Amino acid sequence: MNLAVLILMLVGGFVLLVKGADLFVDGACGLSEKLKIPAYLVGLTIVAFGTSLPEAAVSVTASVQGSNAIAIGNVIGSNMFNALVVLGASALITPVIVKDKLLKRDFPFCLIISLLLLILIVTFGGGAVALTRLDGIILLVLFAVFMTVSIIGAKREKMPEQTSQKLEMKLWKCFVLIIIGIAGVIIGGQLTVNGAKGLARVIGLSETVIGLTVIAIGTSLPELVTSIVAARKGQNDIAVGNVVGSNVFNILFILGMSAAISPIVTDSYAIIDTCVLIAITLVTFLFALPKRKITRPMGVIMLLMYVGYTAYLLIR
């Protein structure tokens, strides 16, 4: 594939990502208002599910093909990117307000399941096997519990009165925008990743470096673009809910499904990377805890942390 085609794929992918995310956020906001569901819960469930589809596609396909070591690396790398880059970049646009519900329930839950992942890898690994089928079933059961609790919480929580005078979007239009938005995000993400991989090969980067950087970052582009667009539109609740929900979805559903299909074999680096993920999740939580927001200086620190860890990965 020649250079011009690769560049066209990269640019076209980014355009689809941005426009798809724009439609996706509009549809999600409209759905939130129409069904009287708090925006952060929409971000935690519908938006998080949609933006995590690329990770699901990569990890589950890898598991089916017997290359499921990619699954755990993709999830851990994507969760790091979400916590540091997606939230960090959103905070640079405008300080990210974090709801009490997210701080009291969802952030701690995300930290707990990251710790659980480490325990499953170390304790139940059985030597070289990091996650068994039983581990996968445990993660899937926890995912079902999380979704049930979130839905019940949505029904109990009253939607705040809207101060805007916008005309209420029709329900069918909300779903059409969400579906078109998801399609744009997924197709755009695939074009961007394929274009970036091709360019990386032309430049002369190894497959390992491409996997650690381009694929992990590429599958997280939907979260990044969607959260940035949400932040620009003043929908901080969706931006934060998208990150927390995506990270929960990645660990419980994607790794759970991948391990249930075929035990995930990995190396000791997975233990190190999971420990780093736990530390990153804790730092993000502590940043947001005192003033219920992530400020611009915090966003800069988070982005620098990701750059530092990526440098370590390339050296490793």
Contact 278, 78 (CB under 8 A): no
| Residue 113, burial from CB neighbour count under 10 angstroms (0-12, 13-18, 19+) | buried
Among 12-26, 93-107, 244-258, where is mean pLDDT lowest? 12-26
Flag whether pLDDT at 138 surpasses 90: yes
Residue 165: pLDDT band with limits 50, 70, 90: very low
What lies within 8 Å, CB to CB, of 205 at 6+ separation is: none
pLDDT higher at 254 or 219? 254
Flag whether pLDDT at 281 surpasses 70: yes
Q: Is residue 165 part of a domain?
A: no
Domain count, the chain: 1
Predicted local distance difference test score (pLDDT) of residue 221: 72
- Cα 167 to Cα 22, 34, 117, 236, distances in angstroms: 18, 11, 45, 21
Contact 253, 143 (CB under 8 A): yes
Predicted local distance difference test score (pLDDT) of residue 282: 93
Fill in the amino acid letter for 98.
V
Q: Is residue 265 part of a domain?
A: yes
pLDDT higher at 281 or 187? 281
Flag whether pLDDT at 193 surpasses 90: no
Residue 206: pLDDT band with limits 50, 70, 90: low
Across the range 280-288, mean pLDDT stands at: 91
pLDDT higher at 123 or 118? 118
Percent of the chain with pLDDT strictly greater than 90: 16
Q: Is residue 164 part of a domain?
A: no
Contact 126, 132 (CB under 8 A): yes
Residue 73 in tokens: 């690396």
Predicted local distance difference test score (pLDDT) of residue 290: 84
pLDDT higher at 210 or 179? 179
Across the range 5-31, mean pLDDT stands at: 78
Q: Is residue 28 part of a domain?
A: yes
Predicted local distance difference test score (pLDDT) of residue 69: 59
Q: Average pLDDT of the chain?
A: 78
pLDDT higher at 63 or 151? 151
Domain CATH number, residue 189: 1.20.1420.30
pLDDT higher at 111 or 203? 111
Across the range 142-163, mean pLDDT stands at: 70
Predicted local distance difference test score (pLDDT) of residue 168: 66
Predicted local distance difference test score (pLDDT) of residue 66: 63
Predicted local distance difference test score (pLDDT) of residue 280: 94
Predicted local distance difference test score (pLDDT) of residue 102: 79
Across the range 275-280, mean pLDDT stands at: 94
Residue 286 in tokens: 């502590």
Across the range 287-293, mean pLDDT stands at: 86
In whole angstroms, what is the distance from residue 110 CA to residue 98 CA? 15
In whole angstroms, what is the distance from residue 306 CA to residue 301 CA? 9
Flag whether pLDDT at 164 surpasses 50: no
DSSP one-letter code for 36: T
The Cβ of residue 250 has, within 10 Å, a number of other Cβ atoms equal to 27
Q: Is residue 227 part of a domain?
A: yes
Residue 251: pLDDT band with limits 50, 70, 90: very high
Predicted local distance difference test score (pLDDT) of residue 174: 85
Predicted local distance difference test score (pLDDT) of residue 166: 47
Q: Is residue 78 part of a domain?
A: yes
Could you tell me the residue range of the domain that residue 242 belongs to? 3-157+170-315
Fill in the amino acid letter for 313.
L
Flag whether pLDDT at 96 surpasses 90: no
